[in-house]
Amino acid sequence: MTDRYAVIGNPIAHSKSPRIHAAFARQTGQDLSYERILGSLDDFAGDVRRFFADGGRGLNVTVPFKEQAWALAERRSPRAQSAGAVNTLTPLPDGVIAGDNTDGPGLVRDLAVNHGFAFAGRRVLLLGAGGAARGVLRPLLETGVAELVIANRTAARALELAAAAKGLGPVSGCGLAALTGQRFDLIINATSAGLTGEVPPLPDDCLAEGGWTYDMLYGDEPTAFCRWGADHGAGRALDGLGMLVEQAAESFIIWRGVRPDTRPVIALLRRREGEITA
Ligand code: ATR
């Protein structure tokens, strides 16, 4: 029997997840279907429970429901626990709903495996202190970075996030102005500034020579932060399409126990090159 999966969000029409999971299923010979569900803003939990009661085997969760999915999950992985958000829900045989968060592993894997970034000993700057930043913090700290600085427009939120993650690794928080005079090997943009074509105001020299930039957003055109990276001498200026596919792959592994080959799927989705090579 075909196993049913879906992604739930609101809005949801734009989601690339069905294409990604269909490609994984074809490639690995798995018998599954994967649909889009427009979640109701006032009854997310009801939508989830109905899908599982109807035999659904797993759900990916996207904006704006990741925090609600965290609250709904009755068992959470450590990385989901510290992310404060869940993007993968799985009903277990004993009826418990398990929650995981594959965004951070997806980001780290795209950088480390697809692009060969060596995290160990590097100074990394994470821009933003909202849900997107919090979601990737723990996996980033597990890579062996020398230092992870969280910088945010509202400094207090960065300080708070860093304080909450202190036991996980070498992390600190600050406002954007405090970046003056600092240099980083990798700058990751987890702000939503790019949604309006903006880039957080950064000192011009905060990227180390040959340092990389990574925008968690992606688009058919290079994002504003990708352009910022290219304009500031980035060795690589990457967008988040690879992260999107890798987080889907991590969910696929949880559900199906096999790792799909992400490269052809990333190539399939990248109709136009979002990355700029400086
Ligand atoms: P998400 O869940 O996508 O992280 P969020 O929780 O609303 O969304 O967080 C958005 C993040 O982008 C915040 O860190 C926000 O900074 P503030 O905490 O100061 O609001 C940041 N952000 C949004 N627009 C920005 C801009 N134009 N410049 C700099 N930072 C911006």
Ligand 1 atom 12: residue of nearest CA: 191
78 preceded by cis ω (within 30°)?
A: no
pTM equals 0.95
Token couple for 133: 């930043």
With a cut of 70, list the residues of the chain below it in pLDDT: 272-278
Q: How many angstroms separate the CA atoms of 23 and 228, rounded?
A: 32
Q: Give the ranges where 198-240 is alpha helix by DSSP (H).
A: 224-231
Q: To test the ligand 1 pocket, which listed residue (61, 86, 157, 192) has its Cβ within 8 A of the most ligand atoms?
A: 192
The whole-number pLDDT of residue 276 equals 55
The whole-number pLDDT of residue 244 equals 98
Q: Which part of the chain has CATH 3.40.50.720? A: 104-239
Phi, psi of 107 (to 5 degrees): -65, -50
Q: To test the ligand 1 pocket, which listed residue (153, 202, 217) has its Cβ within 8 A of the most ligand atoms?
A: 153
The whole-number pLDDT of residue 273 equals 47
The whole-number pLDDT of residue 275 equals 53
Q: How many angstroms separate the CA atoms of 38 and 57, rounded?
A: 17
Catalytic (active site) residue 16: no
Q: Which part of the chain has CATH 3.40.50.10860? A: 3-101+247-275
SS3 call for 69? helix
Which residues sit with their C-beta closer than 6 Å to ligand 1?
128-133, 152-154, 157, 191-193, 198, 200
Contact present, 200 and 193 (Cβ < 8 Å): yes
The whole-number pLDDT of residue 271 equals 73
Query: Tell me: domain 104-239, CATH 3.20.20.70, correct?
Result: no
Residue-wise pLDDT for 121-154, tens only, equals 999 999 999 999 999 999 999 999 999 999 999 9
Ligand 1 atom 8: residue of nearest CA: 130
Architecture of the domain delimited by 3-101+247-275:
3-Layer(aba) Sandwich (3.40)
